[in-house]
A = this chain, B = another copy of it.
Amino acid sequence: MEKKIITISREFGSGGRSIGRMVAEKLGYKFYDQELILHVAKESGLAKEVVAEYEEYATHKNSFLYAIAMSNGGIYGGMSFANQVQIAQAKVINNLAEQGNCVIVGRGADYLLRERKDCLNVFIHADMKFRADRIVRLYGETNKTPEERLRDKDAKRKVYYKSFTMRDWGVCQNYHVSLDSSVIGVEHCVDIIVKIVEDSRE
């Protein structure tokens, strides 16, 4: 069946977001990333920045965000902050999928859309050196080493994905394609994904 929706999950620094954008350009699909957060924020009635922070850093019962959640009515008053965000997010992602012809990066979209036959789920990862070089080039240096930043981000994405989906992050069986961009190359990854979508139209 023709793949009209592509979800991209990725390790930080692997180039997964860039790959998603290039795939969208080549196929003439829409591309959703930060923009999606804005949609979610509007839907849930929560401030954009808070939702963004939540999505990056997941949910801990003793966190500041959780405290806000418990004192926050929102439009789903009475529910936890995490649940409010997740319900709003699911609604937005399902709406985007219904419209079709789009690439969605992150946000657990692979899980939310797992029953759709017109959805291709992609995972992009890369070795530590490739990712470390890339984040320093793109985002500059900080007082932490790039390796520390990567380990930190990986751990947070794992927790976020698990709390959201109850599945382990980065397991082959949850994706239709998984590619190591440090070995295959960012542009060849784009070509492979585009080719799979084109072949799905046969």
Contact = CB atoms under 8 A, between A and B. Distances in A.
A87 interface: no
Nearest to A123: B172
A185 interface: yes
Interface of A is mostly: mixed
B175 A176 contact: no
Interface in A127-164: none
Contacts of A120: 183
Interface in A155-202: 170-173, 175-180, 183-185, 188, 191-192, 195-196, 199
- As for how many copies of this chain the complex holds, the number is 2
Nearest to A1: B183
Number of contact residues on A: which range applies?
Answer: 20 to 34
B177 A180 contact: yes
Contacts of A171: 170-172
A125 interface: yes
Contacts of A172: 123, 125, 170-172, 175, 178
A175 B180 contact: yes
A151 to B, nearest CB: 13
Contacts of A195: 188, 191-192
B177 A176 contact: no
Contact of A178 (B177, B185, B196): B177
Ranked nearest first, the 4 interchain pairs of A and B with the lowest CB-CB distance are A178-B178, A172-B178, A176-B180, A170-B172
14 contacts: A11-B173, A123-B172, A170-B173, A171-B172, A172-B178, A175-B178, A176-B179, A177-B177, A177-B179, A184-B199, A185-B199, A188-B199, A191-B195, A192-B192
